[in-house]
């Protein structure tokens, strides 16, 4: 793993919207958080049976499985953006509609165990990407969804996004927080 810490981004390295995610992440280096939080999330979800994993806390809300699938999809998109920016690609990158992604993914037909394995695989790729970047690459900036980002702000957004959804799983789905 690279010795370069992925330091907390400054406020001008991301749109204000992502502050709500980044502020959830503790510490001064996001890499250890990315490693530990996937274990915490896996523990939270690993004991659920399929019926509970298909639960929705309200009509038209996502099931637990859909939340897990969304985490994988969003992290893939965010990591792709980070890779492009880290490689000094100045092409503005498009946004994505997470509602449409979930609607067309059919996550509820898959076993929760498979969705958790996929999330772990996606996270492993993200960790490898960010750990292998120099400080210079981590500070590079680009535009995604018409918003400015640094590469390191994306790493922190990934970690905070997972924490945000874990909190929803605790509060609205009644899952006990073991993390």
Walk me through the domains of the chain, giving residue ranges and CATH numbers: 28-171 (1.20.120.450)
Query: Around 154, how many Cα atoms within 13 Å sit in the side-chain half-sphere?
Result: 32
Q: Please state, in angstroms and as integers, the Cα–Cα distance from residue 151 to each residue in 72, 80, 136, 156, 157, following that order.
A: 18, 10, 10, 9, 10
Q: Please state, in angstroms and as integers, the Cα–Cα distance from residue 120 to each residue in 14, 97, 123, 162, 178, following that order.
A: 26, 23, 5, 12, 18
Which residues in the chain land under pLDDT 50?
1-2, 178-179
DSSP summary character for residue 147? E
For position 157, what pLDDT does the model report?
A: 98
The per-type count for the chain, helices as H runs and strands as E runs, is: 8, 2
For position 112, what pLDDT does the model report?
A: 98
For position 15, what pLDDT does the model report?
A: 94
What digits encode the pLDDT tens for the residues 103-122?
Answer: 999 999 999 999 999 999 99
pTM listed for this prediction: 0.95
Among candidate residues 31, 53, 158, 163, the one with its CA nearest the CA of residue 112: 53
Give me the sign of the Cα torsion angle 142, 146, 148, 149: negative
What digits encode the pLDDT tens for the residues 23-54?
Answer: 999 999 999 999 999 999 999 998 899 999 99
For position 176, what pLDDT does the model report?
A: 80
Vertex 140 angle, CA 18 and 92, to 5°: 70
For position 178, what pLDDT does the model report?
A: 45
Question: Distance between CA 85 and CA 79 in Å, rounded?
Answer: 10
**Are the beta carbons of 70 and 62 closer than 8 angstroms?**
yes
For position 4, what pLDDT does the model report?
A: 79
């Amino acid at each position: 793993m690279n010795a370069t810490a992925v330091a907390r981004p400054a406020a001008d390295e991301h749109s204000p919207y992502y502050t709500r995610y980044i502020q959830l992440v503790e510490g001064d280096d996001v890499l250890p958080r990315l490693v530990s939080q996937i274990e915490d999330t896996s523990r939270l979800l690993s004991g659920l049976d399929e019926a509970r994993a298909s639960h929705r806390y309200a009509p038209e809300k996502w099931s637990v499985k859909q939340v897990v699938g969304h985490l994988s999809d969003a992290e893939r998109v965010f990591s792709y953006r980070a890779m492009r920016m880290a490689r000094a690609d100045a092409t503005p990158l498009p946004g994505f509609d997470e509602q449409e992604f979930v609607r067309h993914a059919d996550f509820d037909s898959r076993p929760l165990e498979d969705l958790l394995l996929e999330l772990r695989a996606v996270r492993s790729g993200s960790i490898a990407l960010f750990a292998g970047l120099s400080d210079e690459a981590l500070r590079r900036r680009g535009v995604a969804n018409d918003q400015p980002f640094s590469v390191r702000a994306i790493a922190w957004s990934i970690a905070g996004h997972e924490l945000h959804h874990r909190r929803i799983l605790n509060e609205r789905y009644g899952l006990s927080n073991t993390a």
